[in-house]
Amino acid sequence: MTEIQLHDTATRRKVDFRPLDPSNVRMYVCGPTVYDRAHLGNARPAIVFDVLYRLLREVFGAGQVTYVRNITDIDDKINARAAESGRSIGEITEETTAWYFEDMAALGNMLPDRTPRATAYVAQMIAMTEELIAKGHAYAAEGHALFRVRSYERYGSFSGRSLDDMRAGARVEVAPYKEDPMDFVLWKPSAEGQPGWDSPWGRGRPGWHIECSAMAADLLGQSFDIHGGGNDLMFPHHENEIAQSACAHGGAPMAQVWLHNEMLQVDGRKMSKSLGNFFTVRDLFDRGVPGEVIRFVMLSTHYRKPMDWTDEKAREAEAILRRWREQVRDVEPGPIPARILEALADDLNTPEAISRLHALSRAGEVEALAAGAALLGLLGEEMGGWAQAPDVDLSAYGMLLAQARADAMESKDFARVDALRSALQEAGVEVRMSKEGIELLPGSDFDASKLDALG
């Protein structure tokens, strides 16, 4: 059996992955808060943990792996969106949840085995909160239930923070009902018009952190194998999950291994609305960038390194995928090559796996190329519609470019060649020039009107 190694955030080192039960491998990943379209940064953990899911299924068996990714449909951002739009909370969450599933599928992600919604697990959240209060790890105050952070001596060790330093560095006004500034909310009152449920502490709704602990315990057990998410969740979300889960379950560790992906940048800068470089997955689709291309760009950077999105990377990815798809057309995939499996088993080294796919492509090992790419969620038939070239005759432009190149070989002035090539590329045409000749391939964003000036 292939040996998998993963970088465990909790121990800050690469560890051998040994599931608690090889016949029942369990993974929980924090999912989206559904109040708007998923932005490009939301796509990264979905893709990263989809590849891990595929790897686990390949190594342990498809029927031996359970992947849970939650939907947060209780949140103040959702409440605010409902208030400003005049739409109901249910209408907003139903619509945005459907958008999320649609966009993630278009990126080539498999649907997790379970996608629980927080609203369906409020009873379990109340029960866990009651358990924490009964054990002295939480307390009720003014309609709230709060976790008593000082009751968990290891609090802060996961994210590498000192509780005293965190307390001293706090800059927010402390609610008068808190015993300690660092205590966090498990349950809070709901105002008129806000979603609420009856509880021992009055009508209210759960805090954010308790939902993942309650859903993971209900669906995967008190201890399971892998917990994942973006590294922006390490503190306070995952730190709080670890504390409340351990205290509720007699000290049992919530997860054996914790994985976190790094954040996304755009053209070398953090993605931000204020910088004007913020866009959603759907924005890219609308600009003609295929989901498979987005996936390839994401996987070209190791998940533990910042991922820099650029349009140039997308163009390069599209050219590579077109070439590979041409190679594997009408080819039945062979067995997954050991070299691809080994790369992914080494802490999901997707850049190395892609490098080895390039080697298979150059060697003409097309059955192996198709099989290895499939393990990464690439080159599947269901993802290939974008690569179907438009039915257009570009032979006249090919002759025009060929003549310009022939003239340039005589005059040593390649300005005309460069101008023609740039115009064709601007129109969405991939230009392949070699000693054997010139090949023009219209892309998914081909725009014939941009070629009118070439005559």
CA pair distance 397, 404, nearest whole angstrom:
10
Cβ of 127: how many Cβ atoms within 10 Å? 15
Q: Beta partners for 437?
A: 434
Q: Given this model, what pLDDT does residue 391 score?
A: 65
The chain-wide mean pLDDT, for the chain, equals: 93
Looking at residue 451, what is its pLDDT? 82
What confidence score (pLDDT) does residue 455 get? 59
Query: How far apart (Å, rounded) are the C-alpha atoms in residues 369 and 373?
Result: 6
Quick check: 32 and 229 in contact, CB under 8 A? no
Q: In b/e form, how buried is each residue of 314-353, taking b as 16+ CB within 10 angstroms? A: bbebbbbbbebbebbeeeebeebbebbbebbbebbbbebb
pLDDT digits (tens, 9 = 90+) for 112-130: 999 999 999 999 999 999 9
What pLDDT is recorded for position 394? 86
- Domains assigned to the chain: 5-261 (3.40.50.620), 276-387 (no CATH), 395-454 (no CATH)
45 exposed, middle or buried (CB, 10 Å; 0-12, 13-18, 19+)?
buried
Q: What pLDDT is recorded for position 278? A: 86
User: What is the Cα–Cα distance from 339 to 324, expressed in whole angstroms?
Assistant: 18
What global pTM score does this model have? 0.86
Q: Could you say which residues of the chain have pLDDT below 70? A: 165, 167-173, 389-391, 444, 455
Residue 272's pLDDT is 77
Per-residue confidence (pLDDT) for residue 260, from 0 to 100? 98
**Other CB atoms within 10 Å distance of the CB of residue 36:** 17
Rounded Cα gap, residues 24 and 416, in angstroms: 63
Residue with tokens 């009751």: 151
* pLDDT, tens only, 91-112: 999 999 999 999 999 999 999 9
Q: What confidence score (pLDDT) does residue 390 get?
A: 62
Give the strands of the sheet with 269-270, arranged side by side.
269-270, 264-266, 307-309
pLDDT value of residue 273:
76
Judge whether 147 and 208 are in contact, CB under 8 Å.
no
pLDDT for res 296: 98
Contacts of 367 (CB under 8 A, 6+ apart): 331, 332, 333, 334
The pLDDT of residue 206 is: 97
**Residues 232 and 238: beta-carbon distance below 8 Å:** no
| pLDDT recorded at residue 434 | 84
Q: Going by DSSP bridges, is the β-strand pair 25-29/13-16 parallel, antiparallel, or unpaired?
A: unpaired
Q: Residue 388 contacts by C-beta under 8 Å, 6 or more apart in sequence?
A: none
Pair 402, 394: CB distance under 8 Å: no
pLDDT of 81 reads 92
